[in-house]
Chains A and B, each alone.
Chain A
Amino acid sequence: DIQMTQSPSSLSASVGDRVTITCRASQDITDYLAWFQQKPGKAPKSLIYAASSLHSGVPSKFSGSGSGTDFTLTISGLQPEDFATYYCQQYNGYPLTFGGGTKVEIK
């Protein structure tokens, strides 16, 4: 199975900050990577697929980059509604596997 490692596992940031979350795959997954946002008690929300493509309705303050084994999710101009846990997921092979999550908290 392909292992996905996210870092950091948590971070504290202020409203207006730009934050970057990293996701590393245990092998080359080209650009078959997705990002999800999950707020407490809620279902995940799909943000990005194919490493950098935004799903419909996702604001442009979210951006993704990377290929191969190293990927990043960047949130520009952090707003109160962005405080949540973020997960990456690879879909280069079965089983689909998720990273452990990055909790973005208010400083």
Chain B
Amino acid sequence: EVQLVESGGGLVQPGGSLRLSCAASGFTFSTYAMSWVRQAPEKGLEWVSAISDSADNTYYADSVRGRFTISRDNSKNTLYLQMNSLRAEDTAIYYCAKAKYYSNSLLRSLGASDYWGQGTLVTVSS
């Protein structure tokens, strides 16, 4: 059974940092690209970042580029999101999602993500 378990969320002051983790199990983590998607309170879904299976390629939304860094440790089956210079507008539940390979294209596989974690809440407030 595929499981994705996020952790690391919490309350942080504006300008602060936080590192989120997503522990994966039930599939061969090292062969799948992964994404982070967030949802601000009472708002819709927003794609944040993605990383290829080997970590050779990373992608970011403009709203987080230069502040957030996605990475992965395939030996630990874990995905990360390092968040720096946090702002109030980064307050959200952060979900990790597993890509589904149905194409040779990384983008297509990311878009067809098939499993999501339960999310971890990040609150940026003084």
Contact = CB atoms under 8 A, between A and B. Distances in A.
B62 interface: yes
29 contacts: A32-B107, A32-B108, A34-B113, A43-B95, A43-B116, A43-B117, A43-B119, A44-B116, A45-B116, A46-B100, A46-B112, A46-B113, A46-B114, A46-B116, A49-B100, A49-B102, A49-B112, A56-B114, A91-B107, A91-B108, A91-B112, A92-B107, A95-B61, A96-B47, A96-B50, A96-B110, A98-B45, A98-B47, A101-B44
Interface in A32-91: 32, 34, 36, 38, 42-46, 49-50, 53, 55-56, 87, 89-91
B106 to A, nearest CB: 10
Contacts of B84: none
Contacts of A87: 44-45
B111 interface: yes
Interface residues of A, number: 28
B46 A98 contact: yes
A97 interface: yes
Contact of B107 (A93, A98, A99): A93
A96 B44 CA distance: 13
Contacts of A45: 116
Contacts of A90: 111
